[in-house]
Structure 1
Amino acid sequence: MEQPESKKVQKKPQKKLYRNHVAQILLLVFVAIVTALSVMGYGISRYKRYYYASATRSCNVMVADLVKHGEDFPNEDMLAYYIPYSMNSTAASVGTYLYLFNTDGQCILCSANTGQEADGLTLSVEMLHAMKEKGTYLTDRSSGKFNRSIAEPMLCNGSAFTIQQDGREQTYYLFANTYTHALNNYVTDFILVTVLVSLAVLAIAIAMEMHIILQRAKQREQIIQVLQLNARGDYTKKLQPEQWVGSEMEPLVTVLDSLVRQAERAESYSKQFVSNVSHELRTPMTIISGFVEGILDGTVPRNKRMEYLSIVSQEMQRLKMLVTSMLNLTKFDAGTIQINYQMFTMNDTAFRTVLMFENRLEKRHISVEGLDAPPLRVYADPDLMGQVVYNLVENAVKFVNESGTISFRFESSDHDWIFAVRNTGNGISKEELPRIFERFYKSDASRSQDKTGLGLGLDITKQIIHLHHAQISVRSEEHVYTEFEVRLPQIKPPHSEQESEETPRLQPPTQ
């Protein structure tokens, strides 16, 4: 039976995660081995230097004593008594084997504990060369042993010295062979201790790493389970960032929780949007259908038909603007919308828009001001700017108070064309002002006054304004007024596109 595709997909990141954990542990083992070898190398090298210095110290002390004695008794035959005595006593007390050689490399004397005869013992060419060049020699190789029957490692060190012998100076080479038991034992013990300590530390480190890995795996599983529920639209469980404070996962959980909450809001807004769109479409369609059927079947009197057809026309315009808004929203998100710049009069666009709301304005006794201002001719996309004007006027009509006023302002500054819509009414609170251009956002006041709005008008307006490299701002005083102001940058149109200044204007409605 084949496994589900989702499980196959899940196995791939799990295998990769497992390989990552194995790589971390192997890296930890490698670091532990390198550290242990470094510690062992440093410790053994340091002790070895100390041991060699200690081993050669007794030989150097003896050489200094022989030189001093030769200076004090220049006519004494030191080879007859003093030197053999010193070699035997030093060898016995220190536990070393001493040999005295002449400059030709021939052995003259051996300490009694060597059990060897001096005859036949000679220095190797390497030893003799080193003594003549440097006056010292030191090695722990088997070539430094004078008694080859001894299998154990020994340290060989030699020192050159000059004494007064029979009234003249004589140079000799004093060599010592010393067992390296202490050094060998130290090295063995040090390696053993280092290995044991390293293994203990490595075991603790691996245990801690495994604990961290398991904890991370558990946390990841917990996050994945919650996200899987959220992905299916179940938001009953959330990541709760406050429970992850101080954790390694805190930044990730914070970001994911923010994304999930945004997705939850978007889904809620989407459901509300679909519901509102359905209502917004149904209402004008119902009105249009009812009036058209009434006209066709004769229910509507002839003297009322033009009035009802005017209402049908207004509702058709409302439908057109609604559909245009949704289409433009899709184009904005896809980045495919284009601007068709033309010269047109903003006052006429505002006048035509107000006519679409004439019935609602009359029913609520709303007065309109400013449409008779001097013409403001702008260079922009007339269709897109028409949608901006529609959205701002619709917003003003929704929230103007009963018997209130909607005012228009058309101005021109040094660099901008200015268009503003102002309505009296409850206004917008300071807390809500920064959010009113967000998609689907509806203020507390708008929720109570506008039950079916989509929460898209101001978002679309802002995007159209930005496409024109223009600016939009809002001012409001609670329980007094709200004003939206648009500033279009003055762009000089091509000469062929400039319209005649004598183009007749539409007359504003009388209130």
Structure 2
Amino acid sequence: MQKSLFSKFFTVCLSIILASISILGVVLLVFASQYFKNDKFDLLSRNVVQAVAITSNVTTQGEGGYYVDSTRAMSGYSILGNAIDADIFLVDQYGKTLICTHRASCIHTTYMISEKIMEEAREGEYREMGSLGGIYSEPYYTVGRPIKAQDGSVIGVVFASTSAEGMTSFLLEIFKMFLFSAIAVLALSFIVIYFVTDRLVRPLREMADATQSFSKGDFAVRVPVEGYDEVSKLAMAFNTMASSLAAQDQTSRSFIANVSHELKTPMTTISGFIDGILDGTIPEEKQRHYLTIVSEEVKRLSRLIKSMLNIAKIEAGEMVIKPVPVDINDIVCRTVFTFEKAIEEKRLDIRGLDVDKIMVEADPDLIHQVVYNLIDNAVKFVNEGGYIEFSYTVDTAMTYIGVKNSGQGLTKEEVPRVFDRFYKTDKSRSLDKNGVGLGLHIVRSIINLHSGDIMVRSVEGEYCEFVFSLPTLHQKNGQSIFRKGEKGK
């Protein structure tokens, strides 16, 4: 069975803590045993030093060698041995035990201390944890120091030995205390890690649940954001993505609905009129009139399909621009002449065309489409007897072209939406019955392909102005260079 992220994280954390506690326990026991061992050796060493001093005080030199007052030495050895629970015994220079505090039958008198041990003891201090050359059947701590005569010669060695059983008990007690502490720490860690892991994983679970909702078309689910850590940033990014998906879904639904509506209306008109002509409902003398309407609706469908294909090409990145030096004022002038009839009918004042060449780098065909759409809108929505004004602002990087018309203008609510696909203002529905609401969206897309921008300014009841920018033409050795809009290359 596949493990969840919660169980994986929880298991890893507990494993790390358990391993750390185990390593800490081993290190603690090693250091505790070493401490206990050193402490025992130091204790034995201090008492051996005192035993050597006692022995030296009760040793006399006589004929044939040195003599020790065994009664006095034994008394001092017994006091020292009882104080530290150790056997203290004196051996001669050959390793034979002379005095011993062992109360039972003394095992030291049965064996001789090996010459190897004696050699080490004569050198200074001898320390061992073991059987003292086989004398003991179990581990003993043993410390030995030499007894020296006035001439510096070694005349014997004092040893102190105590059982090593105490270390086992000591380590067992240490282990018990450590074990109880480790269990308490593990229990506390278990609780803390459980809740911390749950808190870390909860946003991921919520994201997983949200994706299930997304797959069903519900984009309203959001993940709560707490704090500002990496998981919180991920949750914020997830919510942003959800909002984007919701917007795209809404746009897609609106697009489909608008396309369906825009296609359905002319198709219904065409179908109705043609059926009327075929079945004789429409008399012959009126057929030309209705065929004219059908022709207009077919042209409207053609414009709609062409606009949708252009949008699809732009969004798919398939529309390639071919920028060349262009006199934008010349394009504007030629486009204005195509609206001569409508301009005369509305008695419009055309301003701003009496300027010199305004050279930019642009694709002539696409920019003509931009200019045509903007002038078409201006002519449609300008008031009778009003004006259409063109303006140019040139700087080193970009040239700004403005198309302004008097009239009702746009409301504050309409301004942010004029470039949306299929968006038509209330007044455009009455003034622009043939439009499909894609013109300005295509205009913005084309301008963006040229690395330019377009904005709208409007004062309701006074005017509306669209300003778009194109790369300014720069000359270098007689050649034009494209400073902006290099997407087209």
Q: How high is the TM-score relative to the length of structure 1?
A: 0.70
Indicate how the Cα distance of structure 1 residues 382 and 427 shifts in structure 2: closer, same or farther if over 3 A, else same: same
Match among 322, 325, 342 for residue 307 of structure 2: 325
Contact 1:370 1:407 in 2 (8 A): yes
Cα displacement (A) at 1:462: 3.9
Letter in 2 for 1:98: I
**2:471 is paired with a residue of what secondary structure?**
strand
Match among 356, 369, 372 for residue 390 of structure 1: 372
Distance 2:329 2:299 in 1: 18
Letter in 2 for 1:233: G
Letter in 2 for 1:486: S
For residue 82 of structure 2, what is the aligned residue in structure 1? 92
Distance 1:210 1:257 in 2: 26
Letter in 2 for 1:255: A
Indicate how the Cα distance of structure 1 residues 268 and 136 shifts in structure 2: closer, same or farther if over 3 A, else same: same
Give the 5 Å matches for 1:406-485.
406-410=388-392, 416-425=398-407, 440=421, 447-450=425-428, 457-475=439-457, 480-481=462-463, 482-485=465-468
Cα displacement (A) at 1:59: 2.9
Distance 1:391 1:130 in 2: 111
Contact 2:95 2:112 in 1 (8 A): yes
Distance 1:160 1:368 in 2: 123
For residue 472 of structure 2, what is the aligned residue in structure 1? 489
1:143 to 2:109 alignment: no
Cα displacement (A) at 1:408: 1.6
**1:423 is paired with a residue of what secondary structure?**
strand
For residue 370 of structure 1, what is the aligned residue in structure 2? 352
Letter in 2 for 1:136: E
Match among 189, 193, 196 for residue 205 of structure 1: 189
Distance 1:493 1:437 in 2: 39
Contact 2:409 2:460 in 1 (8 A): yes
Q: Deviations over 1:232-281 (max 9, x none)?
A: 2335x522636x56898644443333222222222222232333344555
For residue 155 of structure 1, what is the aligned residue in structure 2? 141
1:80 to 2:105 alignment: no
**2:468 is paired with a residue of what secondary structure?**
strand
Q: How high is the TM-score relative to the length of structure 2?
A: 0.73
Indicate how the Cα distance of structure 1 residues 92 and 377 shifts in structure 2: closer, same or farther if over 3 A, else same: closer
1:31 to 2:16 alignment: yes
Contact 1:92 1:113 in 2 (8 A): no
Distance 1:124 1:347 in 2: 119
Match among 154, 176, 188 for residue 170 of structure 1: 154
For residue 26 of structure 2, what is the aligned residue in structure 1? 41
Cα displacement (A) at 1:218: 6.6
Distance 2:475 2:296 in 1: 34
Cα displacement (A) at 1:103: 5.2
**1:336 is paired with a residue of what secondary structure?**
coil
Indicate how the Cα distance of structure 1 residues 412 and 265 shifts in structure 2: closer, same or farther if over 3 A, else same: closer
Contact 2:52 2:145 in 1 (8 A): no
For residue 51 of structure 1, what is the aligned residue in structure 2? 36
Cα displacement (A) at 1:396: 4.0
Distance 2:334 2:44 in 1: 117
**1:112 is paired with a residue of what secondary structure?**
coil
Indicate how the Cα distance of structure 1 residues 285 and 176 shifts in structure 2: closer, same or farther if over 3 A, else same: same
For residue 50 of structure 2, what is the aligned residue in structure 1? 65
**1:197 is paired with a residue of what secondary structure?**
helix
Indicate how the Cα distance of structure 1 residues 362 and 70 shifts in structure 2: closer, same or farther if over 3 A, else same: farther
Cα displacement (A) at 1:107: 4.0
**1:113 is paired with a residue of what secondary structure?**
coil
Indicate how the Cα distance of structure 1 residues 238 and 285 shifts in structure 2: closer, same or farther if over 3 A, else same: same
Give me the identity figure in percent: 25
Cα RMSD after superposing both structures: 4.8
Indicate how the Cα distance of structure 1 residues 116 and 226 shifts in structure 2: closer, same or farther if over 3 A, else same: same
Give the number of equivalent residue pairs: 464
Distance 1:290 1:373 in 2: 51
Contact 2:93 2:157 in 1 (8 A): yes
Letter in 1 for 2:140: M
Q: Deviations over 1:309-364 (max 9, x none)?
A: 8x999988876654443223222322222122345543453355556767776776
Contact 1:97 1:113 in 2 (8 A): no
For residue 7 of structure 1, what is the aligned residue in structure 2? none
For residue 222 of structure 2, what is the aligned residue in structure 1? 239
Letter in 2 for 1:51: F
For residue 192 of structure 1, what is the aligned residue in structure 2? 176
Distance 1:50 1:32 in 2: 26
Distance 1:258 1:90 in 2: 83
